[in-house]
Amino acid sequence: MQDYTTDHPFDISLSEEQQMTWDMLRKFAETELRPNARDAENAGKPSEELLQKIKALDLIPLIIPEAYGGLGLQQDSVSNALALEALAYGDMSLAMSVSVPLLVAQIIAEHASEEQKAEFLPEFVNGSMFHIGLGINNATFSTDPYQSSVLAEESGEDIILNGSKMGIAFGEHAKTYLISASDESGACDLYFVSKDQKGVELSKTEYMGLKGMPFSKINLSNCKINASQKLGGHNYSIDFKSLVDSSRIGMSALALGVCQAVLDYVVPYTNERVAFDEPISNRQSVAFMIADMAIETEALRLMVYKSAALKDLNVDFHKQASLTHRFASHHGMKIGTDGVQLLGGHGFTHEHPVELWYRNLRAVGIFEAGAGV
Amino acid sequence: MQDYTTDHPFDISLSEEQQMTWDMLRKFAETELRPNARDAENAGKPSEELLQKIKALDLIPLIIPEAYGGLGLQQDSVSNALALEALAYGDMSLAMSVSVPLLVAQIIAEHASEEQKAEFLPEFVNGSMFHIGLGINNATFSTDPYQSSVLAEESGEDIILNGSKMGIAFGEHAKTYLISASDESGACDLYFVSKDQKGVELSKTEYMGLKGMPFSKINLSNCKINASQKLGGHNYSIDFKSLVDSSRIGMSALALGVCQAVLDYVVPYTNERVAFDEPISNRQSVAFMIADMAIETEALRLMVYKSAALKDLNVDFHKQASLTHRFASHHGMKIGTDGVQLLGGHGFTHEHPVELWYRNLRAVGIFEAGAGV
Amino acid sequence: MIHPLLPDQLQKTQETMRMAAEFILRPISRKYDKAEHEPPIEMEQLNQAAAAQKKETGVGEDSVKSMDLTGRNLWAVISLEQMCWGDVGLFLARPGTGLGNAAIMAVGNKDQKAKWGKRWAAMAITEPAAGSDSKNISTTAVLDGDEWVIDGEKIYVTDGDRSDCVVVWATLNKSMGKTAIRSFLVEKGTPGFTVARLEKKLGIRASDTATLIFDNCRIPRENLLGGKEEIETDIDAAKKSFGGAMQTFDNTRPMVAGMAIGLGQAALDMTRALLAEEGYEDKFGGSMHQQTAVQYELEMLEAELEAARLLVYKSAWMMDNKMPNSKEASMGKAKAGRIGNRISLKCVEICSMQGFSEEHLLEKFSRDSKILDIFEGTQQIQQLIVARQVLGKSSSDLK
Amino acid sequence: MIHPLLPDQLQKTQETMRMAAEFILRPISRKYDKAEHEPPIEMEQLNQAAAAQKKETGVGEDSVKSMDLTGRNLWAVISLEQMCWGDVGLFLARPGTGLGNAAIMAVGNKDQKAKWGKRWAAMAITEPAAGSDSKNISTTAVLDGDEWVIDGEKIYVTDGDRSDCVVVWATLNKSMGKTAIRSFLVEKGTPGFTVARLEKKLGIRASDTATLIFDNCRIPRENLLGGKEEIETDIDAAKKSFGGAMQTFDNTRPMVAGMAIGLGQAALDMTRALLAEEGYEDKFGGSMHQQTAVQYELEMLEAELEAARLLVYKSAWMMDNKMPNSKEASMGKAKAGRIGNRISLKCVEICSMQGFSEEHLLEKFSRDSKILDIFEGTQQIQQLIVARQVLGKSSSDLK
């Protein structure tokens, strides 16, 4: 019934190392991210000061190979998921301001050719985190999520790209884009495209949520690139399905962090808010809504962990990632809307963070490439 | 935005005539059908005595043309829907024991050739109600509901039928079957098939619910009939889509009657049942479940009425019938399962009717041809 | 005779108001969503369209039987459903009619209706410490000679900044609970009445939501709306008095529910329009095996919306026919409030990045929709009202 | 280290028990569903399979850390999940182990475990007038010399007819509420103890559900299970005493939740098998635009089931590791109970006439599943328990 093999017993406790990282990141989320979430949203991006603090976490250099200035440590997927959950507890946008470049760095470190690594990896350590924009989110909704709304056509030494991508985080900060494109055979790969390449058109887009970071839309019109600009080189092929699945676990881990934030916020609020002479949490309609929130959040946690653990075993995790992602999308949004409902009119205003979480949780199930595990 | 024209104001009150029929049938449902529901289920069919009483309602002779011994009255669809709702309040199986033959009589009165009318209509008045079995429910689930799992192939003067039908009410009592079959062109029509025809195989089937009436499955294997056995004659074509839609409104009206029965049963029960020192209906989780039951039942009522009213206007009612039917299937089952839940362990036993309603409500959305409006 | 269909006259109302919504409201939807707190200047047009339509349909000021085709409440629900198809935030921001006007029409005497009926009146009930629990409000009204002195703070007052006057709920004696609650009309510019703050909000940003402060605010004695100056000691009379105040809700709930229906329909229509660009077609009545998940979901959502719509129409029709409609009004509000929110959120998901983006209005609909399940009584309050009536319970039995 | 995956040893358990379910239970599912109240004679085989598997896996009688791969509770949940994949009614009817056995193992002393641990014990809590409200039971136990005298009526006792003995909840003093409640072991054949009636039921018809009458039924003094002979006056001690009785549920809830999971998986598997005959294939991870409504629905239901499964595994793992798991046990029971019912009903709908027909077992699953959201604490009771713990509330605050 399962399709994996392991000697390790069933376990849901954190290892010592996991606990240390968890404590550190969760504290950072509570003291640095949460208090700055509204400011970042108003400004449309994190402040420089906050970005410096986020960079100082050194999450990206950790995984950059030593040859390119990093520490070259391999993180397991479960620990990655834990980190994402902890950070998103503070704020989802701000968590993504590190999880997106981290995902790019992971992809390049794993798949790029030596030349590409040498060109792009050092800057993650020494320069901006945002020099490469990730273009995976499809602009059309009827496209298979494991395919791209950009088409790649080979033409001799060149590849011609046509189509659009949305939701490119920090797109204006980037000099290069890593774009997914499908070819005629149905293979979907990634391609490096320079900002100043001919046929590249960039525009700013705003979304319902995730307003603490800027996004771009990119339109590629007969954009001609050299075949060597394919990620990993001309003859390399990425397992794009696995990349999407990994990112879906990542997005689910972010959703988990936000769901926990909602739960932890409504519990004291409803215990303190009095109506009809009693705390409103004494009413079953309120209390049961919170019970369900707790149940689905805990369930989502276990699903995220299991998906990541399967990936760590190097077995097929496609089904588990799909189930987790759909669960996160459905219950995440339910928890988002219930969070506002529990605060009533107060929840509808900017006085409380629940309206922000409502908007951010709608991103889950839509954004495909905001984090990886 | 609408696609109908009417001078009549919006109105949700019963006309005097509607009220009289309603009162009569609802009383019959409460005094004759409800008390006999469990007995009919145990016996697998209504008692002869009860059948006589049902026949004495004269619902079928009412619509049989005078030439064939009936009263030849045209019933409007809204009144038909009201009648179905009222009867199903007593019991769904028992209501169907009249609504199925009524539907057959309606179909024949409207569509059959003169010869066919003369052959089949008089017996509705003088003899059994069950001399014709209606074979519309598909045995395969992937078949388009507006098509048939039986295929009709023309071969000169003959038509060859192949395939199976399920859920033929009182199939063993019938001498003839009226079977829907699709031909190559995609048209779906009805055909009269004799029980003793070669290639006809009948078997008894039992279902989760609707146990108060017997059902048959029919298997047609190279069953050769004369082209004149097509309903209405060789060159006649029925609007099968409209027939299915009318039947879906009918099934929704039956569901409505059962939903109202559940609601009216749980209200006094939860008001009287005491736990933790108070009636359980003093708890919001119980009370809100009942509030929702009341809301969805009332909504279903309005949707059934509107669908039927549109049909009476002779305009396209396909979309409205589809919406109503899906609503009835979804909320009907929710009300069925909540009815058992509200009674707890008691609801799980035969001591109360809620477990019977649970099983019958699962038929909605599945049975296509149990009633028409 | 059962006939839950709209006569041609009301269908004409639908069409006219839909057109107004499409050509007046939709083009400025995004503008005022972005420019929160900026009063929309284009709205006079909409009022004119509504007035013209009302005149054409022959709807009177007083309730008239729907039987006569011109029931005022059903007409109103249908009109605002279409306006809110355009933009619910802008609809709430249209000058001239606020929830306070409904209160004046419901409980005001003849003189009051004549004097304030045509002025823009907001409604101030909620307080920082009292949301749904309106019997616990702590704003006070004390009769001093020929004037009432009002003191207290009100929050979440829709149109509180832009309206001409405000209907304020206050208590004559806080220790007496709901029997002591009255509503008063306070005009803008009255000394002691200030707008303290405007809320930044998740949605309906075109409409202003204000915090109002009443500090020794003196108003004429005749500004007491419905109800007596003294607290009734007779329990039935007292109940009736508060009931009178609460009765406003039986009138306004079908309206707010109508807003949710208009918004829900807007989301479904826009979703279909976007999907059609990529070849989508509906498949009503298809089986789960044939329909795509989107076809299935849109059919289910459409069914739920139609269910809510019929509940709301019925509650308005009952009002027009002078039937008590408290249960039905809450049924409609409960169903419409939750389904409007569910539809709009699901439509964003279905349209994926486009749905989530500000390039289209789906994301806005899903922000606007949330308040419709909260104000004029939350989902939970509506359920309480329905449950109490279905089960025959008092508010002390079922809390 | 976080690793919510089953080690090979437990996967072996799954496989073995699944095979037993498939080859022993499935062939007789319909037979005993139709022949209600007829004890299944084929069940000894299943017990042998379970015992052999237990021995092979090396699971001890006492709880052992899952860390050692042999946690007793996780093993039990996994085993019965698979057996209930076969048939939950038959599983409940298997001779030898009832819910009373769990109570004996949880609260019995050493002698009691030794004496009754291997006998088939049913559990009798519910009374005609007391369902979820177990503190209000009115069956009495009075100490008379060296014997307890039991008087009262118990309903809905699973295995009540076929078991060897029954664990009966009774009160030492009805006016003292829950502090006076104790459980007692009554053996079959004790004078004054009769089986009055067997229920006809919606589902789990293979298992017997009995009404038991205790009329001046005298049992030995040492048959009092856990808790003291006198009523504690110290509140904490009293609470602990009732808590001890209730604690049984923390052990049995993961088991009942496991049953719902096994049943849910059975419904999904059977649905896929039937669909495959008409060409169906899953499309996990597809978008709503690509998936059919059936593909979408089955993926969502599978996700919900997996969520429930992990909650239940976690609650069993906590038990194995001696962590308090009351909240988690109720979370798992709440989620599994409702999702098992939802899945089975939806699968009937998806398979249409075939699903509704007795030709297949889907309709049976959807009848069996309902009780799993009711017994061992209804959905609503589980929600109460979870909510109280999450919100930090007492049972008097949150009723």
What does the DSSP assignment read for B279-292? EGGGSHHHHHHHHH
Structural domain count of chain A: 3
Residues of D tagged active-site: 376
Query: Helix, strand or coil for residue C397?
Result: coil
**D121-167 confidence digits (pLDDT tens):** 999 999 988 766 777 889 999 999 999 999 999 999 988 999 999 99
Q: Rounded to 5 degrees, what are φ and ψ at C154? A: -120, 140
pLDDT given at position C245 = 63
What separation in angstroms does the CA of C52 have from each of C45, C67, D123? Answer: 11, 22, 74
Element spanning B166, H or E: strand B158-169
User: Per mean pLDDT, which range of B202-216, C134-148, D16-30, D242-256 is the poorest?
Assistant: D242-256
Closest to B210 (Cα-Cα) out of B244, B167, B248: B167
How many other β-carbons are positioned within 10 Å of the β-carbon of residue D281?
Answer: 8
- Which pair of tokens denotes residue C142? 């004390």
Location of structure tokens 């190392």: A17
- For residue B270, the chain C residue with the least C-alpha distance is C391
Mind telling me how many Å the CA of D8 is from chain A's nearest CA?
A: 6
Residue B1 lies in a domain: no
Mind telling me how many Å the CA of A218 is from chain B's nearest CA?
A: 38
**Quick check: D174 pLDDT over 50?**
yes
**Quick check: D64 pLDDT over 60?**
no
User: Per mean pLDDT, which range of B77-91, B98-112, C272-286, D213-227 is the poorest?
Assistant: D213-227
CA distance C122 to B122: 69
Residues of D in contact with C287 (CB under 8 A): 352
Residues of A in contact with C280 (CB under 8 A): 142
Residues of B in contact with D197 (CB under 8 A): none
User: How far is it between the farthest Cα atoms of chain A?
Assistant: 77
The CATH number linked to A140 is 2.40.110.10
Do A139 and A60 lie in one domain? The reply is no
| Triad B256, B257, B260: Cα angle to 5° | 85
pLDDT given at position C65 = 43
Q: With cut-offs at 50, 70 and 90, classify the pLDDT of residue C243.
A: low
- For residue A333, the chain C residue with the least C-alpha distance is C345
Do A190 and A250 lie in one domain? The reply is no
Percent of chain B with pLDDT over 90: 96
Q: With cut-offs at 50, 70 and 90, classify the pLDDT of residue B238.
A: very high
Q: Which amino acid type is present at position C165?
A: C
**Quick check: C66 pLDDT over 70?**
no
CA distance D44 to D94: 7
CA distance C130 to B24: 50
Tell me, yes or no, if C44 is annotated catalytic: no
Percent of chain D with pLDDT over 70: 93
B69: left (phi over 0), alpha (psi -120 to 50) or beta: left
Element spanning A188, H or E: strand A188-194
Residues of C in contact with B342 (CB under 8 A): none
Residue D83 CA, distance from chain mean position: 13
**Quick check: A87 pLDDT over 60?**
yes
Residue B185 lies in a domain: yes
Selected for mutation to probe chain D from C274, C283, C290, C294 (highest D CB count within 10 Å) is: C294
Closest to D298 (Cα-Cα) out of D328, D265, D335, D320: D265
The CATH number linked to B69 is 1.10.540.10
Mean pLDDT, chain D, rounded, equals 90
Residues of D in contact with A318 (CB under 8 A): 284-285
- Residue ending a domain, among A180, A204, A229, is A229
- Which pair of tokens denotes residue A88? 């998103």
What separation in angstroms does the CA of A147 have from each of A140, A243, C312, C331? Answer: 11, 11, 44, 45
Q: Residue A138: which domain range?
A: 134-229
**D42-59 confidence digits (pLDDT tens):** 888 888 888 887 788 777
CB-CB contact of B328 with B296 (8 Å): no
- Which pair of tokens denotes residue D352? 């249409």
Rounded to 10 degrees, what is the CA torsion of B340, B345, B348, B354? Answer: -40
**Quick check: B292 pLDDT over 90?**
yes
Q: With cut-offs at 50, 70 and 90, classify the pLDDT of residue C58.
A: confident
Q: Active-site residue among C81, C127, C363, C376?
A: C376
- For residue C5, the chain B residue with the least C-alpha distance is B10
**D288-335 confidence digits (pLDDT tens):** 999 999 999 999 999 999 999 999 999 999 999 989 999 999 999 999
Residue B3 lies in a domain: no
Do A215 and A244 lie in one domain? The reply is no
User: How far is it between the farthest Cα atoms of chain B?
Assistant: 77
Question: What is the arithmetic mean of pLDDT over D201-213?
Answer: 94
Q: With cut-offs at 50, 70 and 90, classify the pLDDT of residue C67.
A: very low
Closest to C142 (Cα-Cα) out of C177, C104, C182: C182
Residue A216 CA, distance from chain mean position: 16
Q: Which amino acid type is present at position C235?
A: I
- Positive or negative: CA dihedral A301, A302, A308, A309: positive
Question: From the CA atom positions of chain D, what is the Rg in Å?
Answer: 21
CA distance D358 to B207: 5
Closest to A139 (Cα-Cα) out of C343, D284, C274: C274
Mean pLDDT, chain B, rounded, equals 96
**Quick check: C135 pLDDT over 80?**
no
pLDDT given at position C62 = 46
**Quick check: C97 pLDDT over 80?**
no
**Quick check: B212 pLDDT over 60?**
yes
pTM above 0.90? yes
- Which pair of tokens denotes residue C114? 């004549």
Give Cβ neighbours of residue D277 (< 8 Å, ≥ 6 apart).
Answer: none
* C259-318 residues touching D, CB cutoff 8 A: 280, 287-297
Please judge whether A309 and D384 are an interchain contact, meaning their C-beta atoms are less than 8 angstroms apart: no
**Quick check: C77 pLDDT over 80?**
yes
**A253-311 confidence digits (pLDDT tens):** 999 999 999 999 999 999 999 998 899 999 999 999 999 999 999 999 999 999 999 99
Do B60 and B20 lie in one domain? The reply is yes
User: How far is it between the farthest Cα atoms of chain C?
Assistant: 75
Do B178 and B120 lie in one domain? The reply is no
* B149-208 residues touching C, CB cutoff 8 A: none
CA distance B18 to B79: 6
Q: Which amino acid type is present at position D85?
A: W
Q: Which amino acid type is present at position A263?
A: L
Element spanning A333, H or E: helix A318-343
Location of structure tokens 């139609």: C306
pLDDT given at position D66 = 41
Mean pLDDT, chain C, rounded, equals 90
Q: With cut-offs at 50, 70 and 90, classify the pLDDT of residue A33.
A: very high
CA distance D157 to D160: 5
Q: With cut-offs at 50, 70 and 90, classify the pLDDT of residue B223.
A: very high
Do B270 and B340 lie in one domain? The reply is yes
How many other β-carbons are positioned within 10 Å of the β-carbon of residue B219?
Answer: 17
Residue A4 lies in a domain: no
Closest to C389 (Cα-Cα) out of C322, C295, C315, C289: C315
Location of structure tokens 């015992």: D51
**Quick check: A116 pLDDT over 50?**
yes
Element spanning A179, H or E: strand A176-182
Q: With cut-offs at 50, 70 and 90, classify the pLDDT of residue B330.
A: very high
Please provide the CATH number assigned to the domain covering D119-233: 2.40.110.10
CA distance C204 to C376: 15
Sketch the domain layout of chain D as residue ranges: 8-101, 119-233, 237-391
Do B158 and B213 lie in one domain? The reply is yes
Has the ipTM of the complex gone over 0.90?
yes
Beta strands D165-171 and D121-124, pairing class: parallel
Beta strands A176-182 and A132-135, pairing class: parallel
CA distance B68 to A53: 91
Q: In terms of pLDDT, which residue wins out, A74 or B340?
A: B340
Please judge whether A306 and D4 are an interchain contact, meaning their C-beta atoms are less than 8 angstroms apart: yes
Residue B256 lies in a domain: yes
What separation in angstroms does the CA of D94 have from each of B169, C181, D173, D266? Answer: 38, 65, 35, 19
**Quick check: A144 pLDDT over 50?**
yes
Question: What is the arithmetic mean of pLDDT over D72-94?
Answer: 93
Superfamily designation of domain C237-391 = Butyryl-CoA Dehydrogenase, subunit A, domain 3 (1.20.140.10)
Do A188 and A278 lie in one domain? The reply is no
Do A125 and A143 lie in one domain? The reply is no
Q: At what angle do helices A318-343 and C326-350 cross, to 10 degrees?
A: 140
Please judge whether A340 and C375 are an interchain contact, meaning their C-beta atoms are less than 8 angstroms apart: no
pLDDT given at position D99 = 80
Do A325 and A292 lie in one domain? The reply is yes
